[in-house]
Amino acid sequence: MALQPTLAGSGNVDTVYGPGDTVPVIVLNIGETKIADVHVTARQVDGGDVQKKIYKDIRLASGRTVTQLKPWKPDLQSEGGYIFEYEVETKD
Domain limits of the chain? 1-8+34-92
The C-alpha torsion from 44 through 21 and 61 to 1, rounded to 10°, is -30
Q: What is the mean pLDDT of the chain?
A: 87
Q: Looking at the predicted structure, is the pLDDT value of residue 91 above 70?
A: yes
pLDDT at position 16, please? 63
Q: Which has the closest alpha carbon to 62: 30, 88, 25? A: 30
> How far is residue 75's CA from residue 81's CA, in Å, rounded to a whole number?
14
Per-residue pLDDT tens digits for 20-64? 788 899 999 999 999 999 999 988 888 776 899 999 999 999 999
Q: Looking at the predicted structure, is the pLDDT value of residue 74 above 60?
A: yes
For residue 90, the cross-strand partners are: 36
